[in-house]
Structure formats: C-alpha cells, structure tokens
Structure 1
Amino acid sequence: MDDLETLALRIARIEDERAIIRLQTAYGYYVDKTQWDEAADLFARDATLEIAARGLYRGQERIRAYLKCLPSLAEGTLFNHMQLQPLITIDGDRAWGRWRAIMEVTITGQVDMVGEATYENAYVREDGVWKIARLQCFVTHYADRRAGLAEGAIPMGTVLSEFPPDAPQTTDYASFPSVYVPPYHFANPVTGRMWQERS
C-alpha cells in the first residue's frame, strides 16, 4: 500500500469517527428536547435499546414506540443529557463507542434529579450512513438533588408496565450505592490488555 492509499484510509477512519460522534451527540440533543421521532430515526432497522433496568427493545419501530412512552417537554420540565468522553473503535462498517452521560431531570413540584450513566454502544454503517446498532445505557447513579448525591440516591428505572420490553435486561446490576463498572469494549491503549472485572 502506497502513502496515498494509507493517507486515504486514515482520513476515511477520521471521517467515520467524526460521523459517529455527531450521530451520538445528536441523539443527546434530541433526548433533551423529547424529540422522539428524531431520536428513533438515528437507529438501524434491527437495532436494540437497553436503558437502566427497563429491559431490551428490538427494532427501530419498537424503539420509537418506547421513546414515546417517556415524558414530554412542557413548561416546568427540564431534561438535560450531556454526553462526554467519547472513545470510538472502528472496524470496517461496524464500530463501538463508550460515553459518559450527565443527566438533569426536573419536573416542577415532582422530580428534581441528577444522574450519571455509561453508554457502551455499537454502530453500523447501514445504507451508507452510520446508525446506532445497540444503545446500552448503564445508569450508575441517580439522586434527588434536594437530598444530596449520597443521601438522595434513588433506584434506577425499571420495566414500563404500559409498554413491556421484548426481552429482559441483558446485564444484571444495580446503581449507587452499589458499585458496577460496565465492561469496556476496548483494550488498554498502552498494554493491549482487556480489563477484567475484579471479583
């Protein structure tokens, strides 16, 4: 492979990474504003979605229907969903990404929560466009802001009785005060070793 071919591949890889970051960032902005159709349009046809302990939803249209069960943006509500620390791994037309989300959820007179979650997502190039193939959101902390991060810790969301999932959650874990580190999709960039959960 000559220098021009190598450079072209490197540029393509950078463009793919930028497209995936843009895709996931757009998801966060749409979730902020409860624009559920726009968010659902980012998913591949046979994608899966798994948030907290609500179970697994399979297929773009099931994901769309699930999202529409969530609260709507209205006066007195705030849903901020800040996605940080992207680490993207690309292999041809498939990719994986890890993100951290900082969340603020306020419904005046009812809810005043802050939270943290880790995403371990998969992406696929479908019809020439990068899309979300698997969204898996591990909610590691939710708290009532008024009571404080420790004393105000509350359980993460569970199955929606009005819209049951297609399958149970694939990972059994609990949020703070429990400790859970979602497995990394990538090897240590220096040692090349995969992290193993300590028992």
Structure 2
Amino acid sequence: MDDIEAIKQLKARYFRFLDTKDWDGYRAVFTEDVLVDVTGSGGGVFRGLDLYMDYVLADVAPLKTVHHGHMPEITVTSATTATGIWSMEDWVVSPDGTEMNAQGHYFETYEKADGRWRIKEMYLTRLRLQRAGQTVWMSSSAERSRAQR
C-alpha cells in the first residue's frame, strides 16, 4: 500500500474509533508526543498523548458522535513525514440531548515509525457550527487555510 492510502486509512480509523468509543484503537493513531489544538472549535491545546487522552475520556467519551472526513489533501514530505488537510463534518449529542452539527477542517502532520503512519499534529477548525437552532459562522478554518498556502 502506498503512503497516501495508508494515511487515508489512518484517518478512517481515527473517525471510526472516536465514534465507536474504542479508546485503545483511538490512542494508537497518534504519536506519543502528539500536539492537538482544538481552539479553533472552542477547546484547548494538548501536548502529549496522555494529556490529550485525559481530555478525550473526560469531555468527549460521554458524547454521542458521528464524524465524517472528506476530500483529503495529503502531501508526503519525506519517507517518514507528511501533511494533510481534511474537510470534515460532525454531529454531536450531549448527555442532556443538546445536538450540535458542524463543518470545518482538520489540518494535520503525520509521522511514520516502525512502518506505521500516525498523527503527530492535529488542528481542528470550524467554518460553521449549529447548536440549539442557532448557526455561528467561524473563521478558524479560513484563517488556517490561508496560512497553509
């Protein structure tokens, strides 16, 4: 399998493990020193897999989620590094029944070690967020996209 296809499958596992709450599988898609920045969607910045997983298990695990990733733009930058941008949509239902639907982008870097690709940096951004009947248009995806050119 070529590297781009392997990265596509990595991201597919990311979405599936997140939505099915397979936390061991989810953890395995990241490097130990991962940097996750979800400030563009209202969250924080997490350096290191343990810190990020603490956040996921506390704040994301109780939610019902459906994530979709589309139209990957993947660039292999060396034998062991790559970058990617994914258009995304997610549906999230809180324990109290509040629903959220949003669209945006993931901006990522990948690292290959021991023959396996993993996510090294992940920035989740939003263009649109709809919650409780209100729609908010956000700029975090547009700002990061312009910066990536």
Partner of 1:114: 101
C-alpha root-mean-square deviation of aligned residues, in Å?
Answer: 2.2
Tell me by how many angstroms 1:137 deviates.
0.5
Q: TM-score, normalised by structure 2?
A: 0.84
- Quick check: 1:72 aligned with 2:61? yes
Q: 128, 131, 137: which one pairs with 1:177?
A: 137
In 2, Cα distance between equivalents of 1:103 and 1:65: 21
Partner of 2:67: 81
Q: Percent identity?
A: 20
Q: TM-score, normalised by structure 1?
A: 0.65
Equivalent pair of 2:81/2:110 in contact (CA under 8 Å): yes
Q: Which runs of 5+ in 1 are unaligned?
A: 1-13, 154-175, 187-193, 195-199
Equivalent pair of 1:117/1:141 in contact (CA under 8 Å): yes
Tell me by how many angstroms 1:108 deviates.
6.4
- Quick check: 1:102 aligned with 2:64? no
> Which of structure 1's runs of 4+ aligned residues deviate more than 3 A?
none
| Aligned AA (1:65) | D
In 2, Cα distance between equivalents of 1:45 and 1:109: 33
Q: Looking at CA atoms only, which structure, 1 or 2, has the larger radius of gyration?
A: 1
Tell me by how many angstroms 1:55 deviates.
2.1
Q: Which runs of 5+ in 2 are unaligned?
A: none
Equivalent pair of 1:37/1:64 in contact (CA under 8 Å): no
Partner of 1:134: 121
1 or 2, which has the higher helix percentage?
A: 2
Tell me by how many angstroms 1:40 deviates.
1.6
Aligned in 2, Cα 1:109/1:60: closer, same or farther, shift over 3 Å? closer
Partner of 1:91: 77
